[in-house]
Amino acid sequence: MFLFGIEHEVAFLNKEGKFADFSHTKFADFNQIIERLPTYPSDYPQLRVGDAGIKMKRWYIEGFERFADSDKVIDCHGKGIEIRTTIHSDIQGAITELSESFHLLCEVAGSFGFSPVLVSFNPYNPVFEPHPPLNDYEIRQLQADPDEQTANIHMMSYGPDLNISVADLSTERVIDIGRKLTYYSPYIVPFSYSSPFYKGGLWDGLSVRTFIRTGKRPAALVFVQKKEELIDSTPSLTKIARIPAEVGRIEFKACDSCDNFLIYAALLALLKGLVLDESLLGRATVPDAALHQLSAKEGFDNEDIFGNATKVLQAAEVALGDDADVHYLTPLKVMLAKRKTKSHELIEMFHRVSSIEEVIRQTYQV
């Protein structure tokens, strides 16, 4: 039995029409939106609340938490709002809930002058520098965790966690699937590309997010129950589950954000097919950074990326067989046939209107 969930990060323009990032958006600006959104008591214990208490709802402020000289959270530099779904036994359930949560978020955010925009990497600020500078406690905390040392990348990039788990798989098998998805990640991610902007202009490629992020941060993350099951790697492939519902979960973290949630349905179906598939034998504990960078620059125009993406999609389709979820793969087939991604659309639009704000304002028209 498969289980599915989605975590989707939303970026915004503020009421002045400017990109609402950490440089001029306060925690309180985003928090007024969160406070107006509902709480669903039945969501717990499925959803993790976390130590800081920021993650109390299906929506929470995604950002960089600031601490006093202790474990007390005193602020959070926000980059946007994350929506997370509860756990569903079918893909459609996760997509439906995500859509409902997104529309509710838009309604409430709109009342405060914020409008959602599709962004997978900050189109203006190339770096995140916390103000005030980190204190000694914060520096020690970051140095203790290899993944935390790339918090600057986390604050610049926006993307989904596509969560999938299968009942009754051994830890070895789940880790093996995580290594498989890590290996094939450069051929999966182009289906999601949507970050062609950098430093206020067009970047020379399709996904600056993938180019900068993957390799330093994980492509897939596997949640295990016991410390002895962890694999030592940088970036991490494995992580201790923080709540029982996370045990055995595989998070695919390498995709760009999508404003058409049917692409998430397609990607979850692709991941399901790859879990079932036994023909693809590639495995990797850490992502191939160089291959991800090639993929980020050229996408399906590169024959190696195109050929392997075709192979991966066909393997998933064959493995799904007569499973009803196989029809979700159709948009990916169309993309592959045209060798076009969302980034191509955004680039074409930019050539017409010459304004990043104008381009991203026209996203989420679904």
- Strand 250-252 with 161-166, pairing: antiparallel
Fold of 2-361: Creatine Kinase; Chain A, domain 2 (3.30.590)
- pLDDT tens, position by position, 334-358: 999 999 999 999 999 999 999 999 9
Mutual orientation of helices 171-188 and 289-298 as an angle, nearest 10°?
A: 40
3-class secondary-structure state, position 144: coil
For range 105-122, the mean pLDDT: 98
- pLDDT tens, position by position, 289-311: 999 999 999 999 999 999 999 99
Mutual orientation of helices 303-320 and 261-276 as an angle, nearest 10°?
A: 70
Cα 17 from Cα 27, distance rounded (Å): 18
For range 112-140, the mean pLDDT: 87
Q: Is-contact 285 231, C-beta < 8 A?
A: yes
Cα 366 from Cα 364, distance rounded (Å): 5
For range 85-103, the mean pLDDT: 98
pLDDT of residue 78: 82
Domain segments of the chain: what residues? 2-361
- pLDDT tens, position by position, 147-159: 655 667 888 999 9
3-class secondary-structure state, position 118: coil
* Confidence category of residue 229, pLDDT binned at 50, 70, 90: very high
3-class secondary-structure state, position 95: helix
Phi-psi region of 77 (alpha: psi -120 to 50; beta: other; left: phi over 0): beta
- pLDDT tens, position by position, 232-263: 999 999 999 998 889 999 999 999 999 999 99
Cα 345 from Cα 186, distance rounded (Å): 21
Q: Which residue has the higher pLDDT, 27 or 296?
A: 296
> Mean pLDDT, the chain, as a whole number?
93
Q: How many CA atoms within 13 Å lie on the side-chain side of 250?
A: 29
For range 106-113, the mean pLDDT: 98
